[in-house]
Chains A and B, each alone.
Chain A
Amino acid sequence: MRILFAEDDPMIGASVRRGLTQDGFTVDWVADGRAAELALAERVHDVLLLDLGLPRKAGLDVLTAMRRRGDTRPVLIVTARDAVSDRVAGLDAGADDYLVKPFALDELAARLRALLRRNAGRAEPVIVHGALELDPAARELRCNGTPVALSAREFALLEALLARPGAILSRAQLEEKLYGWSDAVESNAVEVHIHALRRKLGADLIRNVRGVGWMAAKPAASAP
């Protein structure tokens, strides 16, 4: 899952990026409101993690403008402003959740997962797909109850595909989910990861639609 993090404090920015990366998120960090708007316009991020006290354009203005443009991506406000009126203003401006600094990295990651889950129309935390059980919080995949070891990118790729079974994701879309701006993407990286997944989980799980992209087969169809 790719996250846009708008935060002007370099120490907080660096720490959150490192922490969330450890939790399997792909994080792009911008330090001011204008940069956040430019990044949002790319439409590659799944969720916006927004600090309110941003230079150049205030966080609430970024949020309001984003909602006015019809951008419905989940927004989690992370700020030091803890007054009830601030929370209400943030949520009423279109935020989905509000986290007050200082916060625990684990809680931030859990809230992000909850937002992404809700956004995908799910309530249950574990994605069940046929014999597969994918737990985004524990970063664990079980096949018929047996844990399967996956690399971070393989897990992220599978998670993206299983989030919307039957939907086709292009190479560009998958690359965007896996790689932040600072990551170097090798030309056939997606194929390499899909190949690895097929090797571990069986060739039927992920189908290639030639010239378009990949999809996770619907569980009923993929069940043996």
Chain B
Amino acid sequence: MRSIRRQLLVWLLGGMLLAIAAAAVGTYLRAREDASALFDYQLQEMAGSLTGAPFAGVPPASSNVAPRSDTLVVQIWDRNGVALFMSQPHRVLPQYAQLGFNTISADSGQWRVFSTLAGGQVVQVAQPMSARRELAASLALHAILPLLAVMPFLGVLIWFTIARGLAPIDRVAADVARRSSAQLEPLSETDLPREVQPLVHALNGLLLRLSEALAAQRAFIADAAHELRTPLTAVHLQAQLAERATDDAERNAALAELKGGLERATRLSEQLLALAREEPGVPERANADVDLAALARRVVAELAPLAAAKDIDLGADASSPVLVRGDAAALTTLLTNLVDNAVRYTPTRGRVDVEVRGDDGSVILAVRDDGPGIAPADTARVFDRFYRGAVSQAPGAAHGSGLGLAIVRRIAERHGAEVDLNSGLDGRGLGVRVRFPRLPQS
């Protein structure tokens, strides 16, 4: 695992070492330059002091004297090129015709040579370049040694400073680790370094969204449990009545009602499931081109028996294919809810029309009935889940789950469609219109 601490330490110390190396090189170059000037001066002075001295002949070479690498070599010739003096006869440097300073390469390495002409003699003083390099290196080394000596101390300092700087992260981590899944209150953002604060802030944003989603989920479950209690109470009571029945006719009637109650409880749980499937945050399902008209015809065919039982004239006006982009299963749920609602709330011998048509820029799905409609006071709330308008006490009156339109709206939203309510057939009843964005290619 990558460690910020180790990374910082490596980079800081590495960088410092590089800087020291650069300083060493700089010092070395500078020192060599200074040493060159100094030694050049020395060569010049030396040559000056030797001019005019009488030399006659070269002393025999004392080859047994070990040569010193850093010593100066002095050579003197007369104007005919006859060597008059050799300070180190075994180190013969080429006679240089050029006067002044020269750097030459010989077998024995690089030499700095100064030649001067005085009194018919050529005086040549030479010094190995290595002497200058050694001096410069030694100076450079002395300059950086103290810096190298403090490196371990710096390393320790950096190590602890980083630890101190990263402590807030550890604190935040400990705070988060201590929490149970229910503790979603925001983390404290005070006393945080500027670098850590954005992370904690973002984390708090996530915690807030999470707690909101959780609260919504909890509210939904509480609502659902509460709503399930009503049909279950009904079933409970119907079962007790069946139990109490004293004769077969009474018992059969009670059992028929019990069956109705069970159907209703089942339907509610199915609706709850449908709504839960459309909850925000559920992963998107496959999007495909769906023929809404064909879907409408299928749903109308499926619900035809229900309509026939109430003698309701249910029909579809959706002959030509109309494509929308979306989830076929969800769209079927939407259509089923709309048509089922209309059939359920429309009295016997009523009429329900389902229409699908492509408009200029959109696809319109309309389900209209000539039932009682929705009171204007209720129109704003009918989309709320579990909201039911005033109910009729008439036998066989509809008991909806209060979820149908909530489900419709949720699915419509997911498809980018708008739902609005208006009056139904012949200026009566209820009309629900869903407007889908039209597919570009259709």
Contacts and interface: CB of A to CB of B under 8 A. Distances in A.
Contacts of B230: 9, 12, 80, 101
Contacts of A106: 240
B244 interface: yes
Interface string A110-133: 000000000000000000000000
B233 A56 contact: no
B29 interface: no
A54 B187 CA distance: 42
Chain B residues touching A, majority SS: helix
Interface of B: 226, 229-238, 240-241, 244, 257, 260-261, 264, 388-393, 395, 397, 399
A81 B225 CA distance: 10
18 contacts: A8-B388, A8-B391, A9-B233, A10-B392, A10-B399, A11-B234, A11-B237, A11-B238, A14-B395, A19-B237, A31-B391, A31-B393, A32-B390, A80-B230, A101-B232, A102-B236, A103-B233, A104-B236
Contacts of B389: 55
Nearest first, the 7 closest Cβ-Cβ pairs linking A and B are A11-B234, A15-B237, A102-B233, A102-B236, A101-B233, A80-B229, A105-B240
A3 to B, nearest CB: 15
A102 B391 contact: no
Interface in A16-30: 16, 18-19, 22, 29
Contact of B226 (A18, A56, A81): A81
B389 to A, nearest CB: 7
A31 B390 contact: yes
Contacts of A31: 390-393
A94 interface: no
B302 to A, nearest CB: 25
B233 A12 contact: yes
Q: Indicate the member of B232, B233, B388 with the most A CB atoms within 10 Å.
A: B233
B399 A9 contact: yes
Contacts of B232: 101-102
Contacts of B229: 80, 101-102
A15 B391 contact: no
A213 interface: no
A104 B237 CA distance: 7
B409 to A, nearest CB: 21
